[in-house]
Amino acid sequence: MEAPSYLDTPQGRRLAYHRTEGKGPGVVFLGGFMSDMSGTKATHLEAWAKARGQAFLRFDYSGHGCSDGAFTEGTIGKWAEDAAAVITAVTEGPQVLVGSSMGGWISLLLLRRQAVECCGLVTIAAAPDFTEDGFWDSFSNAAREELMSHGVVHVPSDYGSPYPITRGLIEDGRRNLVLREQLVLPMPVRFLQGTADRDVDQSRATMLLNHAQGEDIRLTLVKGADHSFSTPECLALVDRSICEVLGDA
Protein backbone atom coordinates (compact mmCIF):
# COMPACT_ATOMS: atom_id res chain seq x y z
CA MET A 1 0.00 0.00 0.00
CA GLU A 2 1.29 3.44 -0.93
CA ALA A 3 2.53 5.48 2.03
CA PRO A 4 0.58 8.67 2.72
CA SER A 5 1.91 12.18 2.39
CA TYR A 6 1.86 14.47 5.42
CA LEU A 7 0.90 18.07 6.06
CA ASP A 8 1.79 20.15 9.11
CA THR A 9 -1.18 22.45 9.62
CA PRO A 10 -1.13 26.06 10.86
CA GLN A 11 -2.64 24.72 14.11
CA GLY A 12 0.38 22.44 14.65
CA ARG A 13 -1.28 19.15 13.74
CA ARG A 14 0.29 16.60 11.39
CA LEU A 15 -2.22 15.13 8.93
CA ALA A 16 -1.90 12.16 6.58
CA TYR A 17 -3.40 12.31 3.11
CA HIS A 18 -3.42 10.74 -0.34
CA ARG A 19 -3.65 13.10 -3.29
CA THR A 20 -4.43 11.92 -6.83
CA GLU A 21 -3.46 14.30 -9.61
CA GLY A 22 -5.96 14.92 -12.38
CA LYS A 23 -8.37 17.34 -13.98
CA GLY A 24 -10.54 19.69 -12.00
CA PRO A 25 -12.80 20.29 -10.33
CA GLY A 26 -11.26 18.00 -7.74
CA VAL A 27 -13.18 15.66 -5.47
CA VAL A 28 -12.50 15.53 -1.72
CA PHE A 29 -13.71 12.75 0.57
CA LEU A 30 -14.37 13.68 4.20
CA GLY A 31 -14.76 10.65 6.42
CA GLY A 32 -16.82 9.94 9.49
CA PHE A 33 -16.39 9.79 13.25
CA MET A 34 -13.58 7.39 14.21
CA SER A 35 -13.21 6.23 10.59
CA ASP A 36 -10.23 6.76 8.32
CA MET A 37 -9.23 7.24 4.70
CA SER A 38 -8.63 3.51 4.13
CA GLY A 39 -12.36 2.75 4.22
CA THR A 40 -14.42 1.33 1.38
CA LYS A 41 -15.99 4.59 0.19
CA ALA A 42 -12.72 6.54 0.24
CA THR A 43 -10.73 3.94 -1.67
CA HIS A 44 -13.58 3.29 -4.12
CA LEU A 45 -13.79 6.98 -4.94
CA GLU A 46 -10.03 7.18 -5.40
CA ALA A 47 -10.17 4.36 -7.96
CA TRP A 48 -13.19 6.02 -9.63
CA ALA A 49 -11.32 9.33 -9.85
CA LYS A 50 -8.18 7.73 -11.27
CA ALA A 51 -10.23 5.99 -13.96
CA ARG A 52 -11.69 9.38 -14.96
CA GLY A 53 -8.44 11.30 -14.64
CA GLN A 54 -10.10 13.41 -11.94
CA ALA A 55 -8.17 15.06 -9.12
CA PHE A 56 -9.00 13.44 -5.77
CA LEU A 57 -8.09 13.87 -2.11
CA ARG A 58 -8.68 11.64 0.90
CA PHE A 59 -7.21 12.38 4.33
CA ASP A 60 -7.33 11.55 8.02
CA TYR A 61 -8.42 14.06 10.63
CA SER A 62 -6.10 14.45 13.62
CA GLY A 63 -6.49 11.49 15.98
CA HIS A 64 -7.75 9.33 13.12
CA GLY A 65 -5.98 6.76 10.95
CA CYS A 66 -2.40 7.70 10.05
CA SER A 67 -2.60 11.28 11.30
CA ASP A 68 -0.95 12.33 14.55
CA GLY A 69 -2.77 13.14 17.77
CA ALA A 70 -5.09 11.44 20.24
CA PHE A 71 -8.70 10.95 19.23
CA THR A 72 -9.89 12.19 22.62
CA GLU A 73 -8.20 15.55 21.98
CA GLY A 74 -10.27 16.10 18.86
CA THR A 75 -13.43 18.13 18.43
CA ILE A 76 -15.71 19.07 15.55
CA GLY A 77 -14.07 22.49 15.38
CA LYS A 78 -10.55 21.04 15.23
CA TRP A 79 -11.50 18.47 12.61
CA ALA A 80 -13.09 21.21 10.50
CA GLU A 81 -9.80 23.13 10.80
CA ASP A 82 -7.96 20.00 9.68
CA ALA A 83 -10.20 19.64 6.63
CA ALA A 84 -9.85 23.29 5.66
CA ALA A 85 -6.07 23.17 6.10
CA VAL A 86 -5.44 20.11 3.94
CA ILE A 87 -7.92 21.12 1.22
CA THR A 88 -6.41 24.61 1.02
CA ALA A 89 -2.83 23.33 1.02
CA VAL A 90 -2.95 20.47 -1.48
CA THR A 91 -5.82 21.17 -3.91
CA GLU A 92 -6.25 23.76 -6.63
CA GLY A 93 -9.44 25.51 -7.69
CA PRO A 94 -12.99 24.57 -6.77
CA GLN A 95 -13.71 21.16 -5.24
CA VAL A 96 -16.65 18.81 -4.89
CA LEU A 97 -16.93 17.82 -1.23
CA VAL A 98 -18.15 14.30 -0.47
CA GLY A 99 -18.93 14.08 3.25
CA SER A 100 -19.80 10.80 4.95
CA SER A 101 -21.64 10.89 8.30
CA MET A 102 -19.61 13.32 10.45
CA GLY A 103 -17.88 14.35 7.23
CA GLY A 104 -21.25 15.69 6.10
CA TRP A 105 -21.34 17.98 9.14
CA ILE A 106 -17.74 19.04 8.55
CA SER A 107 -18.54 19.80 4.90
CA LEU A 108 -21.51 21.97 5.90
CA LEU A 109 -19.34 23.88 8.36
CA LEU A 110 -16.72 24.55 5.70
CA LEU A 111 -19.37 25.83 3.31
CA ARG A 112 -21.10 28.01 5.89
CA ARG A 113 -17.74 29.58 6.74
CA GLN A 114 -16.67 29.76 3.08
CA ALA A 115 -13.46 28.14 4.25
CA VAL A 116 -12.83 26.35 0.94
CA GLU A 117 -13.76 26.92 -2.70
CA CYS A 118 -16.58 24.50 -3.47
CA CYS A 119 -18.60 23.83 -6.62
CA GLY A 120 -20.67 20.88 -5.40
CA LEU A 121 -21.62 18.84 -2.34
CA VAL A 122 -22.56 15.19 -1.90
CA THR A 123 -23.33 13.86 1.57
CA ILE A 124 -23.73 10.23 2.60
CA ALA A 125 -25.78 9.69 5.77
CA ALA A 126 -24.89 13.20 6.89
CA ALA A 127 -24.87 13.62 10.67
CA PRO A 128 -25.00 17.37 11.39
CA ASP A 129 -25.17 18.32 15.08
CA PHE A 130 -24.89 14.68 16.20
CA THR A 131 -22.90 15.49 19.34
CA GLU A 132 -25.86 17.45 20.70
CA ASP A 133 -28.90 15.80 19.11
CA GLY A 134 -27.45 12.29 19.16
CA PHE A 135 -25.08 11.75 22.06
CA TRP A 136 -26.07 14.46 24.58
CA ASP A 137 -29.80 14.08 24.09
CA SER A 138 -29.54 10.31 24.57
CA PHE A 139 -27.46 10.47 27.75
CA SER A 140 -29.09 9.72 31.09
CA ASN A 141 -28.68 12.23 33.91
CA ALA A 142 -26.04 9.93 35.41
CA ALA A 143 -24.08 9.83 32.14
CA ARG A 144 -24.26 13.61 31.83
CA GLU A 145 -22.97 14.02 35.38
CA GLU A 146 -20.13 11.58 34.70
CA LEU A 147 -19.20 13.44 31.54
CA MET A 148 -19.14 16.82 33.26
CA SER A 149 -17.20 15.58 36.29
CA HIS A 150 -14.79 13.09 34.69
CA GLY A 151 -14.52 14.58 31.22
CA VAL A 152 -15.43 11.43 29.29
CA VAL A 153 -18.05 8.70 28.95
CA HIS A 154 -17.83 5.58 26.80
CA VAL A 155 -20.68 4.84 24.43
CA PRO A 156 -21.20 1.35 22.91
CA SER A 157 -20.47 1.09 19.20
CA ASP A 158 -21.57 -1.37 16.52
CA TYR A 159 -18.15 -0.99 14.91
CA GLY A 160 -15.80 -2.19 17.66
CA SER A 161 -14.57 -0.59 20.87
CA PRO A 162 -16.86 1.88 22.67
CA TYR A 163 -16.65 5.51 21.56
CA PRO A 164 -14.93 7.79 24.08
CA ILE A 165 -17.15 10.88 24.15
CA THR A 166 -15.41 13.80 25.81
CA ARG A 167 -16.77 16.89 27.45
CA GLY A 168 -14.68 18.90 25.00
CA LEU A 169 -16.36 17.20 22.05
CA ILE A 170 -19.84 18.00 23.38
CA GLU A 171 -19.10 21.60 24.34
CA ASP A 172 -17.27 22.35 21.10
CA GLY A 173 -20.08 20.70 19.12
CA ARG A 174 -22.50 23.26 20.56
CA ARG A 175 -20.37 26.04 19.08
CA ASN A 176 -20.52 24.45 15.63
CA LEU A 177 -24.17 23.48 15.16
CA VAL A 178 -25.50 24.00 11.62
CA LEU A 179 -29.22 23.25 11.95
CA ARG A 180 -30.00 26.11 14.34
CA GLU A 181 -29.35 28.99 11.96
CA GLN A 182 -29.49 29.79 8.26
CA LEU A 183 -27.66 27.32 6.01
CA VAL A 184 -27.30 28.55 2.44
CA LEU A 185 -25.92 26.08 -0.11
CA PRO A 186 -25.72 27.85 -3.48
CA MET A 187 -23.94 24.98 -5.26
CA PRO A 188 -25.51 21.73 -6.56
CA VAL A 189 -26.16 19.45 -3.57
CA ARG A 190 -27.08 15.77 -3.32
CA PHE A 191 -27.99 14.25 0.06
CA LEU A 192 -27.91 10.42 0.10
CA GLN A 193 -29.48 8.40 2.92
CA GLY A 194 -30.31 4.76 3.61
CA THR A 195 -33.65 3.87 5.18
CA ALA A 196 -32.08 1.07 7.28
CA ASP A 197 -29.42 3.34 8.79
CA ARG A 198 -29.33 2.66 12.55
CA ASP A 199 -26.89 5.51 13.27
CA VAL A 200 -28.53 8.36 11.36
CA ASP A 201 -32.30 8.12 10.98
CA GLN A 202 -33.78 9.14 7.65
CA SER A 203 -35.72 11.87 9.46
CA ARG A 204 -32.38 13.60 9.94
CA ALA A 205 -31.87 13.73 6.18
CA THR A 206 -35.35 15.17 5.72
CA MET A 207 -34.64 17.79 8.39
CA LEU A 208 -31.43 18.78 6.62
CA LEU A 209 -33.21 18.97 3.27
CA ASN A 210 -35.92 21.23 4.71
CA HIS A 211 -33.40 23.42 6.53
CA ALA A 212 -30.88 23.97 3.74
CA GLN A 213 -31.50 26.79 1.27
CA GLY A 214 -30.47 26.56 -2.37
CA GLU A 215 -31.78 26.16 -5.90
CA ASP A 216 -30.38 22.68 -6.66
CA ILE A 217 -30.69 20.48 -3.57
CA ARG A 218 -32.01 16.92 -3.75
CA LEU A 219 -32.40 14.06 -1.27
CA THR A 220 -32.26 10.43 -2.39
CA LEU A 221 -33.46 7.71 0.01
CA VAL A 222 -32.22 4.19 -0.67
CA LYS A 223 -34.57 1.55 0.74
CA GLY A 224 -32.72 -0.98 2.89
CA ALA A 225 -29.32 0.74 2.79
CA ASP A 226 -27.47 0.91 6.11
CA HIS A 227 -25.05 3.49 7.50
CA SER A 228 -22.02 2.12 5.67
CA PHE A 229 -23.68 2.83 2.31
CA SER A 230 -21.01 0.66 0.71
CA THR A 231 -22.82 -1.91 -1.42
CA PRO A 232 -21.98 -1.80 -5.14
CA GLU A 233 -25.37 -0.18 -5.79
CA CYS A 234 -24.81 2.50 -3.16
CA LEU A 235 -21.29 3.24 -4.36
CA ALA A 236 -22.58 3.56 -7.92
CA LEU A 237 -25.15 6.07 -6.67
CA VAL A 238 -22.39 8.09 -5.01
CA ASP A 239 -20.49 8.10 -8.31
CA ARG A 240 -23.56 9.27 -10.24
CA SER A 241 -24.29 11.96 -7.68
CA ILE A 242 -20.79 13.38 -8.01
CA CYS A 243 -21.21 13.39 -11.77
CA GLU A 244 -24.49 15.26 -11.38
CA VAL A 245 -22.98 18.06 -9.31
CA LEU A 246 -20.04 18.19 -11.73
CA GLY A 247 -22.58 18.66 -14.53
CA ASP A 248 -21.52 15.64 -16.58
CA ALA A 249 -24.10 13.04 -15.56
Would residue 152 count as lying in a domain? no
CATH code of residue 36: 3.40.50.1820
65 occurs within a structural domain: yes
Helix axis angle, 40-52 relative to 232-246, nearest 10°?
50
Q: Is residue 138 part of a domain?
A: no
> Could you tell me if residue 51 is inside a domain?
yes
Choose the weakest-confidence range: 54-68, 87-101, 159-173, 207-221: 159-173
The answer as to whether 95 is a domain residue is: yes
| Whole-number pLDDT of residue 158 | 76
Is 65 strand, coil or helix?
A: coil
Is the predicted pLDDT of residue 249 greater than 80, yes or no? no
Q: Which residue has the higher pLDDT, 159 or 214?
A: 214
What's the predicted TM-score (pTM) here? 0.96
Alpha carbon separation from 216 to 100, 109, 122, 135, 194 (Å, rounded): 20, 19, 12, 31, 21
* Residue at 168 is within a domain: no
CA-CA distance, 198 to 124, in Å (whole number)?
A: 14
**Residues marked as catalytic:** 101, 197, 227
pLDDT of residue 248: 83
What are residue 53's phi and psi, to 5 degrees?
A: 75, 30
Q: pLDDT at position 208, please?
A: 98
Domain hosting 56: range is: 5-130+179-246
150/196 Cα distance (integer angstroms): 35
- How far is the C-alpha of 84 from the C-alpha of 170, rounded, in Å? 21
Contact call for residues 55 and 24 (beta carbons, < 8 A): yes
pLDDT tens for each residue of 53-75:
999 999 999 999 999 999 999 99
Instruction: Give the pLDDT mean for 92-101.
Output: 97
The predicted model gives 4-15 an average pLDDT of: 97
The number of folded domains in the chain is 1
Q: Report pLDDT digits (tens) over 172-211.
A: 999 999 999 999 999 999 999 999 999 999 999 999 999 9
Cα–Cα dist 202/222, whole Å:
10
